[in-house]
Amino acid sequence: MPTNEQRRAAAKRKLERQLERRAAQARRRRLYTIIGSAVAVVAVIAAVGIFVFTRGDSDNTATAATTTPSASPTESVEVTQGGLPPFNPPADLGADCQYPAAQPASKPNTPPRTGKVPTEPAQVSASMSTDQGNIGLMLDNAKAPCTVNSFASLAQQGYFNDTPCHRLTTGGGLSVLQCGDPTGTGSGGPGYQFANEYPTNQFQPDDPKLQNPVLYPRGTLAMANAGPGTNGSQFFLVYKDSMLPPNYTVFGTIDDTGLATLDKIAAGGVEGGGQDGKPAIPVTVKSIGLD
Query: What per-residue confidence (pLDDT) applies to 23?
Result: 55
User: What is the rounded distance in angstroms from the CA atom of residue 43 to the CA atom of residue 50?
Assistant: 10
Q: Where are the domains of the chain?
A: 1-49, 52-290
Residue pLDDT, tens place only, 96-146:
999 999 999 999 999 999 999 999 999 999 999 999 999 999 999 999 999
Query: What per-residue confidence (pLDDT) applies to 291?
Result: 87
CATH class belonging to 52-290 = mainly beta
Query: What per-residue confidence (pLDDT) applies to 9?
Result: 57
* Low-confidence residues in the chain, pLDDT < 70: 1-81
pTM of the model: 0.76
DSSP state of 83: B
Spatial neighbors of 197 by CB under 8 A, at least 6 apart, are 69, 70, 71, 93, 143, 144, 145, 146, 147, 249, 251
> What stretch of H or E contains 46?
helix 4-49
The 3-state secondary structure of 130-190 reads ECCEEEEEEEECCCCHHHHHHHHHHHHCCCCCCEECCEEECECCECEEEECCCCCCCCCCC
Cis amide prior to 199 (ω within 30 degrees): yes
Spatial neighbors of 287 by CB under 8 A, at least 6 apart, are 128, 129, 158, 160, 161
Residue pLDDT, tens place only, 19-30:
555 555 555 554
Query: What per-residue confidence (pLDDT) applies to 33?
Result: 41
